[in-house]
Amino acid sequence: MLRVRCLRGGSRGAEAAHLIASLVGRSMSRLVQNVSRSSSSAAAVKPHPHEEVEECPVCAYNEWDTLEEVIVGRAENARIPPFTVEVKANTYEKYWPFYKKYGGQTFPEEHLKKAITEIEEMCNILRHEGVTVRRPEPIDWSVEYKTPDFTSTGMYAAMPRDILLVVGNEIIEAPMAWRARFFEYRAYRPLIKEYFRRGAKWTTAPKPTMADELYDQDYPIRSVEDRHKLAAEGKFVTTEHEPCFDAADFIRAGTDLFVQRSQVTNFMGIEWMRRHLAPTYKVHIISFIDPNPMHIDATFNIIGPGLVLSNPDRPCRQIEMFKKAGWTVVNPPMPLIPDDHPLWMSSKWLSMNVLMLDEKRVMVDANETTIHKMFENLGIKTIKVNIRHANSLGGGFHCWTTDVRRRGTLQSYFH
């Protein structure tokens, strides 16, 4: 950089002129030398015309382009999170005794074994469909950890969708909002470092302290009615003390991303993402009549260009703007999962938490026959897989995966 001193006073004009000319001359000389060296270096590293250059291993702009590589989570060593205020606000009252009794312990052993088997079969089917499958590292989540602000044990690396968001050639680590998930990123770091070394961009969002101030310690939940009232008033267990978000509260449609303010994603977190992705991408806040907003993809799941599944139990308040933009809004049928099947961390609407392999293929629960019919009517082939026990840990196919690479280009679908 050329730094020029401003010299004032009549008799010093000549001195100033000589000094500036001298500085400019030296700077231009250095500039020419640097350009010459840079050109030589560029020529030295220029690939041979027939040499193959590896494309970026990370690239996805939406939820439906042809899937080439995916991260699938692990149920191994999964543990029940301690029953803290943020966990209470995100779980159903009938399961609170379960959390109070078993928080910090492993999920029921036989149930967990079945979940692991189901996810292995899911991986095999993805490979059969031509998708490269990657997995996070197995980690011992029972180890207690302590920060200056809290003490906790871990949970799992089952739901990569919650922590990783791919936007273009960038992989973004979400900060999360549950203390039991503070160190969850460690299971994915070997993979992310590999992608980075091969050319991907890697961003870690600001890590929250998760101090007590991030949570409304007196969040008044006693019933579903309480939840409805608080959500309608825009009150959530997370405050605006510092940015926090789960990646699963965002969903992509080319240059537009849609997000909800939820129990785990606050406005500061959304604003961080908005500024980070601007000006190429626009982040739109949408909301739903939902007593327990947490993760958008079992409420509003975009499955194709201008095609979205919208949960009839949790209608979108801004749905008219999608219709005006020419989108087709499909209300999926009621889920068929039986009432006695444990869903410790989610609702039955995981039936619509599907994974698109491309515009004409979808991975869907083998037991949900009515949604199979819905997809067939839309001209979409269903790849049926049973992950009913894996559902109990808090996610469907979309939750259990993060799409690393899809074959497509950046386009605008929302006008």
CA angle (290, 173, 412) in 5-degree steps: 70
φ, ψ of residue 291 to 5 degrees: the values are: -75, -15
User: Hey, what amino acid is at 414?
Assistant: F
Neighbours of 41 (CB within 10 A): 10
Separation between Cα atoms, residue 210 and residue 263, nearest integer Å: 14
Q: Name which of 389, 95, 88, 28 is nearest 215 in CA terms.
A: 88
φ, ψ of residue 298 to 5 degrees: the values are: -110, 15
Is residue 246 flagged as an active site residue? yes
Is residue 290 flagged as an active site residue? no
Residues in the chain: 415
DSSP state of 286: -
Catalytic residue among 59, 249, 290, 295: 295
Is residue 403 flagged as an active site residue? no
3-state secondary structure at position 340: coil
Catalytic residue among 65, 249, 399, 403: 399
Catalytic residue among 59, 123, 162, 246: 246
Separation between Cα atoms, residue 91 and residue 79, nearest integer Å: 15
Q: Name which of 178, 125, 113, 185 is nearest 152 in CA terms.
A: 178
Separation between Cα atoms, residue 311 and residue 315, nearest integer Å: 6
Q: Name which of 295, 385, 306, 401 is nearest 349 in CA terms.
A: 295
Catalytic residues: 246, 295, 399
